[in-house]
Structure 1
Amino acid sequence: MIWPWLAMWLIGLAAFAFPYAIYPWLLGRRGARYAVGQTVTPEKWPAVSVILAAFNAEDRIEAKIAELLKLEYPGQVEIVVVDDGSTDRTAIRAKAAGAHQVLRLPERSGKSEAQNAGVQSARGEVLVFTDVSVVVRENALRQLIPALLVEGVGCVTGVDVSVAGAAGDPAQEAGFYTRFEIALRRREAEAGTLFGVNGCLFAIRKAHRAPVPRDCVDDLYVPLAVQDRGLRVALQPKAEAVVFRPQSLAEEYRRKVRTFTGGLFTLRRAMDDLPRAYRRLRWRLIGHKWLRWLGPFFLLLAFYGSIGLVRRSALGWPIVILEALWLALALLGTIRTGAGRPTSRVVRLAAFILWVQAALLHAWWRLATDRPFVVWRPTRRGL
């Protein structure tokens, strides 16, 4: 019988496609409960602390602090730099560039611990988190803070603007992935169930910011902790951070592995630490995160089903040939893009899908062997 094998193939493909096609469609069908970008004009602008965790960033930290000092904001702004055990002159240059506080951790503890230390030392009522490797638009604080003052909102995220680096654009399809994520977050924000923020730019009241465990990522744990308090996470699309794509496919692969691994460890911990938020958002987490992260296993299931079809029916051959063609295009795209050669959009997309699935398998292996990324190596971007 061919039906069990055909069903296996169809289920694998449908499950793989669900988070990319069906889940966004279902969100759109529900309609908007909240207006994206809603703001409240403050009578008095709250004091803001911008927290910046840095590791071996001496070549970039001065320009980053100069950029933050130029941010347009009517209230007080404090820049807190946390040097996570750097072996270069990051702390010295940060202080010379005008950072209001420079904390130096005696040994490398990881990004989450560095940010936690910055939170404890920050004097502002509102905390804004960003990264050394991105460029924050000058009006970002003016956009984020009024959105944070809306009743019931506990955290506000800005958006990425993904651009090519100076060294070319080997990870071009990552920009498409970013745009897809932003569109999906917009729909989740309209539904009042946004549970992920842009780690490069988001704001939260200090009173609502829970300490992030060492093996977790702040851009998922923090918004879930906010929802666990019964508050909402909002999106402010007018607050932008320019993110330069990595200089190589290898660098983008390492970034994906780190991101996926952090997400897996975070959701595993959230089941126990943040049960209220996890229960409330369970189906959204399945549709957006878990099914996407299970993607390589769904593709393997579909491939196994197609092999069974080939052995039992001529119907299987066209399917296997298409799968082989996709794999060949993906390998070709990986080789050509990695070598910096011109490559068509279709070939680049096939390659992107392949190494995202490979990165997911790598992340699952790290979860299974209990190997989180506690310390991090900042992504080399084409600044």
Structure 2
Amino acid sequence: MLKGLLLILFWGSVFIIFYSYFGFPLLLALRGLFFPKKIKTSSSFLPAVTVIIAAYNEADGIAQKLESVLSTNYPYNKLEIIVASDGSTDGTNEIVSKFEGSGVKLLALPRQGKNQVLNNAVPTASGEILIFTDADSILPQDSIQNLVLPFADPEIGGVSGDYRHASKNVKQEGERAYWNYDRLLKQLQSSGGSVSGASGALYAIRRSLFKTLPASVTDDFFTAMQVVSSHYRLIFEPKAVAYGPVASSAKEEYKRKVRIITRGLHGVWLMRHLLNPLSYGFFAIQLFSHKLLRRLIAIPLILCAITAPLLWQFSTIYVVAAIFQIVFHSIALTGFFLRGTRIGQSKLLSIPFHFDMIYYASLVAILNNLKGKQFATWGSERIANQ
């Protein structure tokens, strides 16, 4: 009886882990291969757009941000820029005011959290397409046009851009591996339907699809899911790039992951109707696999770690499984202690450390949701780096 339960827990956990990291991408690839969905674009499609930038104490970089947006090759007469300042006290508002002659509008608001300032900014926008971009990300000249072109297809309701690190010298190979894997998933999802999220650094939706944001969710995920909920496609456009900062330390990256996963899980709960395959087809499976199962992956990992040693006596496969986990987590722990050194930044140490950090952040996020703890206010990566 006990052996049977242990076997079910072990092999069930192994299946979930392998499905999440290998089976799910394979399923996406097969769907894109056999059931591809094309996008109708037109280089002459240039609708009026509004770029909305939520900012909190971004004095060090807001000028560079606005200059990057103003220097894009999108027609100036069809480009509106709104900076929604969330109670900034460091001179951000004064810097933005200097750009008002260039068509930039400042919306100075009391401190209330990113989502609420976005809720206040959208009604003031005049563009047919709303573009949301982080204050600390820089846009190349062609980013906005590449982001907007897919909207020529009436089936497209939202487009996610591609987030890349501003510095090509990313020291943490673990973080690089994570972003490359996530980019691959977005490409596979987009080739056959919709992606299950958008990059907060740069994404766009049709104005008619915006819904009021609750305070306790990530704006990019919740807004993106509203697009799918309205039965439009949400796609990934790798040519629409936004360059953003790298976390200054593992501690700051961990805190960011906890905040994002906590709010992401809550967002899935609020949008749980999308998990119904009878209404949303394959996307329901995709959302469950990518945004729920993968964020709960720490649980089957723990179950594997507990059950493998208890099953040693029955087969060497459980001995191998236990040893593999001990070695992997030992390497991750070594990566943690050596994270500030050159050796600690190598692939061998930083990749296991980065993934273990995500697993631990996921556990904390699960507990946060069970306790009802949420994050309403926010801070920029630039502030975190100071």
Per the TM superposition, whether the score is higher than 0.5 is: yes
- CA–CA distance in 1 between the matches of 2:19 and 2:84? 40
Determine if contact 2:47/2:78 at 8 Å carries over to the other structure.
yes
- CA–CA distance in 2 between the matches of 1:197 and 1:284? 14
Tell me the alpha carbon deviations over residues 160-184 of structure 1, each in whole angstroms, 9 at most, x when there is no partner.
223547xx74533222211211211
- What is the aligned partner in structure 2 of residue 133 from structure 1? 136
1:87: how far off? 2.2
SS in 2 for 1:73: coil
Determine if contact 1:38/1:147 at 8 Å carries over to the other structure.
yes
- CA–CA distance in 1 between the matches of 2:290 and 2:344? 33
1:343: how far off? 4.0
Which amino acid in the other structure matches residue 133 of structure 2?
A: T
- What is the aligned partner in structure 2 of residue 100 from structure 1? 104
Pairs aligned (count)? 378
- What is the aligned partner in structure 2 of residue 88 from structure 1? 90
Determine if contact 2:265/2:291 at 8 Å carries over to the other structure.
no
- CA–CA distance in 2 between the matches of 1:247 and 1:278? 44
1:185 aligns with 2:189: no
- CA–CA distance in 1 between the matches of 2:373 and 2:229? 27
Superposition map of 1:1-383 within 5 A: 2=3, 4-32=5-33, 33-35=35-37, 38-42=40-44, 45-74=46-75, 75-98=77-100, 100-106=104-110, 108-164=111-167, 169-271=170-272, 279-280=279-280, 281-310=283-312, 316-339=318-341, 341-380=343-382
1:83: how far off? 0.7
1:369: how far off? 1.0
1:271: how far off? 2.2
1:355: how far off? 0.5
Cα pair distance change 1:66/1:31, threshold 3 Å: closer
Which amino acid in the other structure matches residue 306 of structure 1?
A: A
1:282: how far off? 2.2
- CA–CA distance in 1 between the matches of 2:167 and 2:311? 43
1:316: how far off? 4.3
SS in 1 for 2:138: strand
1:296: how far off? 0.7
- CA–CA distance in 2 between the matches of 1:368 and 1:311? 37
Determine if contact 2:171/2:345 at 8 Å carries over to the other structure.
no
Which amino acid in the other structure matches residue 92 of structure 1?
A: E
Tell me the alpha carbon deviations over residues 81-125 of structure 1, each in whole angstroms, 9 at most, x when there is no partner.
01111222111111113462111112x211111111111111222
Cα pair distance change 1:19/1:87, threshold 3 Å: same
Which amino acid in the other structure matches residue 242 of structure 2?
A: A
Cα pair distance change 1:314/1:39, threshold 3 Å: closer
- CA–CA distance in 2 between the matches of 1:137 and 1:19? 34
Which amino acid in the other structure matches residue 356 of structure 1?
A: I
For structure 2, the residue ranges without an aligned partner over 5 or more in a row are: none
Tell me the alpha carbon deviations over residues 336-375 of structure 1, each in whole angstroms, 9 at most, x when there is no partner.
1145655431221111111010110111111111111111
- CA–CA distance in 2 between the matches of 1:278 and 1:246? 40
Cα pair distance change 1:140/1:350, threshold 3 Å: same
1:317: how far off? 3.9
Cα pair distance change 1:140/1:325, threshold 3 Å: same
Cα pair distance change 1:308/1:153, threshold 3 Å: same
Q: Among the aligned pairs, what percent are the same residue?
A: 27
Which amino acid in the other structure matches residue 285 of structure 2?
A: W
- CA–CA distance in 1 between the matches of 2:278 and 2:184? 22
- CA–CA distance in 2 between the matches of 1:208 and 1:150? 15
Tell me the alpha carbon deviations over residues 111-153 of structure 1, each in whole angstroms, 9 at most, x when there is no partner.
1111111111112221111011111111011112121121211
For structure 1, the residue ranges without an aligned partner over 5 or more in a row are: none
My pick for the range that moved more, 112-121 or 315-324, is: 315-324
Which amino acid in the other structure matches residue 135 of structure 1?
A: I
- CA–CA distance in 1 between the matches of 2:198 and 2:329? 33
